[in-house]
């Protein structure tokens, strides 16, 4: 796979628009750690909103072993103000059972809108959250 960043940006944008070539290319490279690192860069900060959104989406599909290796990056990206970027990253953190991701999800995403539900979740997951 060509890891030229301009080419990857174009493919990310194409994947948002359901272009088969782009979707197939990303789908076949979900175990490529170099690609994952590039996607993290795009999701965290790029001038193209479509590229950022697609990068976050594809990150959420990667192998969990690779996702664990970038947990700190994912924790940073989950705080993005755009749901189209933050939400797929929350899913990626859920896939790797990130304790810090769970805390953020409950305290910053659920609690502000659904206080009582967040309190119940804190009790359900107290053994994980208090570790």
Q: Residue 97: which region, alpha, beta or left (left: phi > 0; alpha: psi -120 to 50)? A: left
Please tell me the predicted confidence (pLDDT) of residue 2. 76
Structural domain including 88 reads: 5-97
Structural domain total, the chain: 2
C-alpha 20/C-alpha 119 separation (Å) is 43
91 and 51 in a common domain: yes
Please tell me the predicted confidence (pLDDT) of residue 83. 96
Please tell me the predicted confidence (pLDDT) of residue 129. 86
Structure tokens at 38: 């590039």
Helices and strands counted in the chain (H then E): 10, 0
82 and 28 in a common domain: yes
C-alpha 124/C-alpha 63 separation (Å) is 27
Q: How far is CA 55 from the centre of its chain?
A: 8
69 and 37 in a common domain: yes
Q: What is the pLDDT along the chain (131 residues), one digit of tens a residue?
A: 778 999 999 999 999 999 999 999 999 999 999 999 999 999 999 999 999 999 999 999 999 999 999 999 999 999 999 999 999 999 999 999 999 999 999 999 999 999 999 999 999 999 988 87
């Amino acid at each position: 796979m060509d890891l030229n960043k301009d080419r990857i940006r174009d493919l990310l944008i194409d994947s948002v628009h359901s272009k088969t070539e782009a979707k197939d290319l990303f789908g076949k490279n979900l175990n490529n750690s170099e690609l994952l690192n590039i996607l993290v860069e795009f999701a965290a900060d790029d001038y193209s909103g479509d590229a950022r959104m697609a990068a976050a989406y594809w990150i959420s599909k990667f192998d969990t072993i690779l996702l664990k290796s970038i947990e700190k990056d994912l924790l940073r990206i989950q705080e993005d103000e755009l749901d189209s970027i933050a939400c797929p990253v929350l899913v990626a953190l859920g896939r790797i059972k990130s304790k810090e991701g769970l805390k953020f999800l409950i305290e910053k995403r659920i609690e502000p809108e659904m206080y009582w539900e967040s309190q119940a979740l804190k009790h359900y997951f107290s053994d994980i959250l208090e570790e």
